Amino acid sequence: MVTHNRSFAGLTRSELAALVPELLLCGHLIDRSGMPHTIGAFGREGMTQVAIEEWQVSSPVYTRRMQDALGFRGDGVETIFKGLQLDIGAPPQFLDFRFRVHDRDHGEFWLDHCGALADVEPLGGEYVRAMCHDIEDPTFDATALATNAHAQVRPIHRPPREPADRVPVCAWRVTIDPSHEPPPVPRNADIVQASVAASVPLSPIDPAEEGASDYAGPLLSDIRFADFSRSALIRIAEEVCLQHHLLTMGFLIAIRERVDEERAREIGRKQFAGVAGLTSERIRSVLGLSDDAESLATVLDLHPALNPRQYVGSRIDAVDDTVTLILDRRCGGVADRVWPSLLTPENLDPLDALVRGVSPYYECQVIAATADELAVRILRGDDAASEATEVALTRISTGSNFAFADRGIPLPLTVV
């Protein structure tokens, strides 16, 4: 028997540097997974409102966590821009943010490429306006609010694009001014702030290790994750996984306000399943894994649905062709009613989608369930399962096959 319980601590520095941007991108795909089902339940306008609410309550919490983890707390535009570079709302290159800093209180950013726009432009102008106007206006301000209550993010130009191939696709101005009235605290922000996820302690960073242990220096044109130390990358990976759970928390809070608990859990499982399958595929690919039981155990060990371990208690055992997952039902992820809480003896659909991202031949079987633990055996069957509808819908996103590029040494961005 081989027990997998090291999570990101089991990876090398170079493996972590390759995995972290994948985790950021997969966090962005959470919305691509959830929104088709939200549209089905509430229509386009209802989907828009859910998206606004989920990002408003989650992004300030996880933004401050990342600032504290990497030591770049501050109250100026540089701090806001650094936070965006480490945010699942702005995965590097897929949403290609470029920055200009004029002074502490003034700056601009623009997107040379926007994968999110590429996903919605084929749906027509109403969906583009919903994302680039209705959703971005309040959620950009909410993210900036984590740094300075008097920060405002306002468009210079934005889609719908005129002409249709206009680049940059959008541009925004950030201004900090004491005369700016802070936006009201979003409804339900207190729920997220009081969650286990908001305050769970994660792995410490060792400042003596080779590589950067923080982001306290100048704002860089790009983050090159290979420049961070191994322990810093472990902490970044854990924080990014926590961002997944916090965004899902905001999503489920908004859904639960609109439907009963049974229907909310149904929508939540569909969102979970869609992104879980694609995330498994991308983890397997970036680490060059196969589809055997050992590879499956490794994917489970690193999957954001089951991380960080301080928040989602689990153990993964691999014996021959069989993998066993034991989920601690007393963990923070269950208490916060996010992804782990949606796995029950009666419904393992998201876990089925997750393991079939490694191989369509895997199937999950409950072997024990108590108030404290859920034990699931994962076996290789004789027949390949069809791809889950939820995964197929998420795969429509251009993020499903997006490839990251090495951009070389990043440049420090100084005041112009």
Q: Using one digit for the tens of pLDDT, what is the confidence trace for 72-121?
A: 999 999 999 999 999 999 999 999 999 999 999 999 999 999 999 999 99
Q: What stretch of H or E contains 220?
A: none
Instruction: Please provide the average confidence, as pLDDT, over all residues in the chain.
Output: 96
How far apart are the C-alpha atoms of 58 and 51, rounded to whole Å?
Answer: 11
Residue 157's DSSP bridge partners are 171
Mean pLDDT (whole number) for 213-226:
97
Q: Domain boundaries in the chain? A: 243-398
Mean pLDDT (whole number) for 256-282:
98
Q: Using one digit for the tens of pLDDT, what is the confidence trace for 246-258?
A: 999 999 999 999 9
Q: Using one digit for the tens of pLDDT, what is the confidence trace for 314-363?
A: 999 998 889 999 999 999 999 999 999 999 999 999 999 999 999 999 99
Mean pLDDT (whole number) for 122-148:
93
Q: Which residues contact 345 (CB under 8 A, 6 or more apart)?
A: 366, 369, 374
Mean pLDDT (whole number) for 299-308:
98
List the structure tokens of 31: 């919305």
* 416: pLDDT strictly greater than 60: no
What confidence score (pLDDT) does residue 4 get? 74
Residue 244: HSE in the Cβ half-sphere, 13 Å Cα cutoff: 33
pTM of the model: 0.97
**pLDDT bracket for residue 145 (50, 70, 90):** confident
What confidence score (pLDDT) does residue 410 get? 93
Closest by CA position to 63, among listed 140, 131, 117: 140
Q: What percent of the chain has pLDDT over 90?
A: 93
List the structure tokens of 397: 């996103």
3-state DSSP assignment of residue 344: strand
* 414: pLDDT strictly greater than 80: no
How far apart are the C-alpha atoms of 227 and 14, rounded to whole Å?
Answer: 10
Q: Phi/psi of residue 220, each to 5°?
A: -105, 150
